[in-house]
C-alpha cells in the first residue's frame, strides 16, 4: 500500500521501518559518523558532514514533513533551537505579531535576545482579526500563533489568520506542540511553517530534548535548510532515534491523554475549590467550536484556577502519583505552577492581564488510569483544605 493512502496511525507506527533495505532493519540504525567518503571528485553519497545531513536525522525529518503535509523537515537540538532557527529568517527592523498567551521561553527569546538585533514583537489575541490588523505595521513580516496557547488554552482560527496574513504578504508560523500532527495540521490550513517542541508529545517519554520545524514551499524550505545548517543547532543521531521511537506510539498516547484530561477537567469543574477550568474540549470553553472544526481531537494539557491561592503550595506538596515538575506531554502526569516556573520571565503585569496569576496550575495529564489521577488530586485538595482550616483556628498552627 502506498504511504499516502495509509492512515496516520499506520504511518506513525512505521516510521523508519522500511528505510534500510540493505538489512531490512525495522528500526532505522543510528549513524554516528560525522564524515562520509566521496566516491570520487565531484560526487557525493548525499551525506558529506553530519551537521548538514545525517542518515538517522534525515529519516526523522522526512517523516515529520510527511506527517505535517509539508515539503521539508528540520530536526533541532531543542524546541528553542527550532524557534531560534525560524526567527533567523528575520532581520533588523522586522516586526512580528505574536499570540498574547505565549510560552515564557518564546517570550524570553523575543524580548531578551532578538530585541538586541532590532526585531520587535506585538502581542495580541490572534483570534481577533481587528486586533491583528491594528498591530500590523509596514515592517511586519510574520504572525506567530500558538493554538491552543500555553497555559490558558486560547484557540486561534488558523485558517482565518492564514488568509489574513496571505493578503498582507506575511508568513504564518504555528506552534503545534500541544496538538501534534495527529490532531492538527496547520500547513493544511494555510500556514507556512510549523514548529514543535518535540521534547513534549512527539517524544512522549520525558527522555529526549528536541525541536522540529516543517516548512511549506520550495523557496522557504531552501532558505530554512541554509539556516539549519549554518546555525548548527541540529539534533544528534541518538536523539533522532529516540524521537522516532517515541513518535511510533503517538496515536495511542494522544488518544489516552485526551481521554484522561477530559475526565479530570470534568471532575474539577464540580469541585468547590476550583474557580475555572481551561480545556478546549469543554463545550463552554472559548474557541471550542473552532477547535472542533480545525482539529480532530484535544490535547492532554489543561489549566485550572483555584479560588484561593493559598491552596497552591499544599496541593503541590501533597500530590503523590502526579509529579510537581516542569515540561509536558510525557506519559507521566506533571503539575506545573506557571507563574513561578514556565512563565516566570514574563512580567507580572502581563501575566496578570492575561490571566496567568498566582491561582493558576497547569496539568499535563499522562497515560495513567484517570481514576487514580483523580484520586490523587482529590486527596491533595482535601489535605490543602484541612491545612487551611486548621491554620484559621487559634492554636491550629500555620499552613
Distances, alpha carbon 354 to alpha carbons 73, 108, 122, 276, in Å: 33, 16, 14, 14
Strand 334-336 versus strand 193-197 pairing type: unpaired
Alpha helix (H) residue ranges in 79-217: 79-87, 104-108, 129-135, 158-167, 180-183
Quote the Cα angle for 169-171-173, to 5°. 160
Q: Determine which one of 31, 103, 311, 337 is catalytic.
A: 103
Sheet holding 72-76, edge to edge: 72-76, 211-215, 193-197, 171-175, 140-146, 95-99, 120-124
Taking Cα atoms as reference points, which of 281, 321, 284, 287 lies closest to residue 299? 281
Grid cell digits, residue 387: 491545612
- Whether 362 is a known active-site residue: answer no
Contact 162/190 with Cβ under 8 angstroms?
Answer: yes
Distances, alpha carbon 214 to alpha carbons 88, 169, 383, 391, in Å: 15, 20, 46, 53
Contact 145/93 with Cβ under 8 angstroms?
Answer: no
Q: Determine which one of 20, 51, 71, 358 is catalytic.
A: 51
- Whether 175 is a known active-site residue: answer yes
Q: Determine which one of 11, 53, 141, 200 is catalytic.
A: 200
Distances, alpha carbon 377 to alpha carbons 95, 219, 256, 359, 383, in Å: 43, 50, 18, 16, 10
- Whether 28 is a known active-site residue: answer no
Can you give the C-alpha Rg of the chain in angstroms?
Answer: 22
Handedness of CA 102, 105, 111, 114 (dihedral sign): negative
Contact 69/53 with Cβ under 8 angstroms?
Answer: no
Q: Determine which one of 175, 192, 239, 376 is catalytic.
A: 175
CA distance 266 to 281: 10
The residues with which 35 forms a beta bridge, in sequence order, are 49
- Whether 200 is a known active-site residue: answer yes
Which residues are known catalytic residues? 51, 103, 175, 200
Amino acid at each position: 500500500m502506498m504511504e499516502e493512502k495509509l492512515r496516520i496511525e499506520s504511518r506513525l507506527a512505521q516510521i523508519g521501518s522500511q528505510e534500510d533495505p540493505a538489512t531490512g532493519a525495522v528500526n532505522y540504525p543510528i549513524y554516528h559518523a560525522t564524515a562520509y567518503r566521496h566516491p570520487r571528485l565531484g560526487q557525493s553519497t548525499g551525506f558529506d558532514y553530519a551537521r548538514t545531513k545525517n542518515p538517522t536525522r534525515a529519516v526523522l525529518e522526512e517523516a515529520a514533513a510527511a506527517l505535517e503535509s509539508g515539503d521539508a523537515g528540520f530536526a533541532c537540538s531543542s524546541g528553542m533551537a527550532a524557534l531560534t532557527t525560524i526567527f533567523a529568517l528575520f532581520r533588523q527592523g522586522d516586526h512580528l505579531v505574536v499570540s498574547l498567551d505565549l510560552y515564557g521561553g518564546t517570550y524570553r527569546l523575543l524580548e531578551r535576545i532578538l530585541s538586541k538585533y532590532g526585531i520587535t514583537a506585538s502581542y495580541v489575541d490572534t483570534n481577533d482579526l481587528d486586533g491583528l490588523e491594528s498591530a500590523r505595521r509596514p515592517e511586519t513580516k510574520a504572525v506567530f500563533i500558538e493554538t491552543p496557547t500555553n497555559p490558558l488554552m486560547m484557540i486561534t482560527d488558523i485558517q482565518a489568520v492564514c488568509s489574513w496574513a496571505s493578503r498582507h504578504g506575511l508568513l504564518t508560523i504555528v506552534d503545534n506542540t500541544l496538538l501534534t500532527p495527529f490532531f492538527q495540521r496547520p500547513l493544511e490550513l494555510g500556514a507556512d511553517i510549523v514548529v514543535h517542541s518535540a521534547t513534549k508529545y512527539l517524544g512522549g517519554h520525558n527522555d529526549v530534548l528536541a525541536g522540529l520545524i516543517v516548512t511549506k514551499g520550495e523557496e522557504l524550505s531552501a532558505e530554512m535548510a541554509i539556516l539549519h545548517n549554518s546555525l548548527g543547532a541540529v539534533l544528534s543521531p541518538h536523539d533522532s532515534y529516540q524521537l522516532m521511537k517515541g513518535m511510533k506510539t503517538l496515536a495511542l498516547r494522544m488518544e489516552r491523554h485526551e481521554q484522561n484530561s477530559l475526565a479530570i477537567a470534568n471532575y474539577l469543574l464540580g469541585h468547590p475549590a476550583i474557580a475555572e477550568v481551561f480545556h478546549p474540549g469543554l463545550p463552554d470553553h472559548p474557541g471550542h467550536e473552532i477547535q472542533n472544526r480545525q482539529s480532530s481531537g484535544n490535547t492532554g494539557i489543561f489549566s485550572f484556577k483555584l479560588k484561593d491561592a493559598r491552596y497552591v503550595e499544599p496541593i503541590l506538596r501533597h500530590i503523590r502519583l502526579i509529579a510537581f515538575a516542569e515540561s509536558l506531554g510525557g506519559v507521566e502526569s506533571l503539575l506545573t505552577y506557571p507563574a513561578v516556573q514556565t512563565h516566570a520571565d514574563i512580567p507580572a503585569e502581563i501575566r496578570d492581564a492575561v490571566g496567568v496569576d498566582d491561582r493558576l496550575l497547569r496539568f499535563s495529564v499522562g497515560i495513567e488510569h484517570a481514576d487514580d489521577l483523580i484520586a490523587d488530586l482529590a486527596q491533595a485538595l482535601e489535605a490543602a483544605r484541612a491545612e487551611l482550616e486548621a491554620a484559621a483556628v487559634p492554636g491550629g498552627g500555620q499552613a
